Structure 1
Amino acid sequence: MKITLIQGDITKMEVDAIVNAANTSLLGGGGVDGAIHRAGGPAILEECRRIRDRQGRCAPGEAVITTAGKLPAKYVIHTVGPVWNKGNEEEKGLLRSAYISSLQLAVKNGVGTIAFPNISTGVYRFPKEVAAEIAIAAVKDFMAQDNRISNLIFVCYEKENYDLYSRILQS
Structure 2
Amino acid sequence: MNIQNLTKQATAFARDGDFGQAISILKDLIPVMAESGGFSASSYYKIIPYFQKAGRYQESLNYTKEVIIPAVIADRKSSHGHCVPEILQALTHNCISQIFNKLALAAKREGEAEHLDSFKALEQEHYDKYQVLLKIGEQKQLESEYQELMRVLGEDTDQWPLSIRRKFKL
- TM-score normalized by structure 2? 0.34
- TM-score normalized by structure 1? 0.33
Task: Specify which structure has the higher proportion of helix.
Answer: 2
Task: Specify which structure has the higher proportion of strand.
Answer: 1
